[in-house]
Amino acid sequence: MSTISSAPAGSTIHSAAVAASISNSSVGTYAHPEVLVDVAWAKANLTNPSVKFVEVDVDTKAYDVGHIPRAVALNWQTELQDQVRRDIIGRDQFEELLSRKGIANHDTVVLYGDNNNWFAAYAFWLFKHYGHEDVRLLNGGRVKWLAGESLPLTPERPNIQLTRYRVVGVNESLRARLTDVIEVARGEPGYRKANLVDVRSSDEFTGKVIAPPGMTETAQRAGHVPGAASVPWAKAVNADGTFKSAIELKRLYLEEAKVNAEKPTIAYCRIGERSSHTWFVLKYLLGLPHVRNYDGSWTEYGSVIGVPIER
C-alpha cells in the first residue's frame, strides 16, 4: 500500500497527491472516497510529519488510557464549544486551538473518536466550516483501531511543536440556523424547499422521549420538525463502526427515506453531533450538493415558543 511521501515539517503537500495515496477498495464507490482512510493507511502513516492524527471525544478519558501514537486530543465539550454562549468556537478560538495542538494549514488531518466517530464527524464539520482543505475521518474510529491486530496504542501525550494556524475563509453554507429550519417546517407539505433528516432514535422522533436516557441537556417539548424524515444515524454504519457501502446508503436515504437529491438537505439531532455524522454521509459519501448541519438541533428547536412540532 502506498503512503504519503514523507516531507519535512512545514512543507506543503498538494491534497490531490495525498488523495492518490489512498488505496481502499471498500470506499471506491463513494462520491468522495478521499475523505476516508482505513486503519492500514493510518498505520502506514504514523510517522509521517505531514499527517496529524486527532482523537475527538466528548471528553478525554479514553484518550488518556491509550490512543494512536502522535495523536493529539480534542475535548468536544470544552474545546470545540464556546464556554460562555451556546455556539461553536469562533474563528479566533479555532486558530488558537489548532496552533496549540500543532496543526498547520497544510497538514493532512485525520480525525477519529468514540461513539462511532460522532464527535470526530462534528470536528470534521467544524474544520470544513473554517476552511481546512485536507481533513479526513478514520473509518470505524477508535473502536476499529482497538479491534485491529498489531495496531499500537500509547498513553503518552506527544511533544507538540506550536504552529501559527490561520483561517483563510469561513464556509457558512455548511451550517443551518433556526430560521432556516422554521422556514422549511412552515412550507406546504409536498412543496417544502429542503429535505429535513432527523437522525435521532425513533422514540425521540415520535416524542416518546425528549432525549436519550441519562442526557441532561434537553428541550422543553418532544417531537420532530414537520416534514422531517426519520433516519437514525446508526443505520449508516456496520457493526464494526465503518460506513456502509454507497449502494446501501443510497437505498437508505434516497429510496427508503425519500430524500430528494435535487433539493438542499438539513440534518439535525439533539445537539448536533449525531447529525454531523449524517451530514458527512450525505455530503461526502453520497455526494448530495447542498447539505447543512443544524447544530442547534432539537435542544434549540424544541424549546422555541410557537414553532411547529409534530409527534
> What does the pLDDT look like over 220-240, one tens digit per residue?
999 999 999 999 999 999 999
Does the pLDDT value for residue 16 go beyond 80?
A: no
Residue 276 has a CB neighbour count (10 Å cut-off) of 28
- Please give the average per-residue pLDDT across 135-155, as a whole number: 95
pTM: 0.90
Q: How far apart are CA 136 and CA 139, in angstroms?
A: 9
| N residues, the chain | 311
Domain ranges of the chain: 15-172, 175-301
User: What is the tens place of the pLDDT at every residue in 150-194?
Assistant: 899 999 999 999 999 999 999 999 999 999 999 999 999 989 999
CATH match of 175-301 with 1.10.3720.10: no
- Please give the average per-residue pLDDT across 268-277, as a whole number: 97
User: What is the tens place of the pLDDT at every residue in 244-255?
Assistant: 999 999 999 999
Residue for grid cell 464527535? 119
Cα–Cα distances (Å) from 297 to 63, 159, 240, 306, in that order, read: 27, 37, 27, 16
Return the CATH number of the domain spanning residue range 15-172.
3.40.250.10
Strand residue runs (E) in the chain: 36-37, 51-57, 72-75, 108-113, 135-138, 195-198, 229-230, 265-268, 291-293
Better-scored residue on pLDDT, 4 or 177: 177
- What are the beta bridge partners of residue 6? none
Record the cell numbers describing residue 215, joined without a space: 442526557
pLDDT value of residue 15? 39
Common-topology check for domains 15-172 and 175-301: yes
List, by residue number, the catalytic residues.
269
Give the number of C-alpha atoms closer than 13 A to the C-alpha of residue 138, restricted to the C-beta side: 35
Amino acid (one-letter) located at 151:
L
Average pLDDT of the chain, as a whole number = 91
pLDDT-wise least confident of 18-22, 189-193, 199-203: 18-22
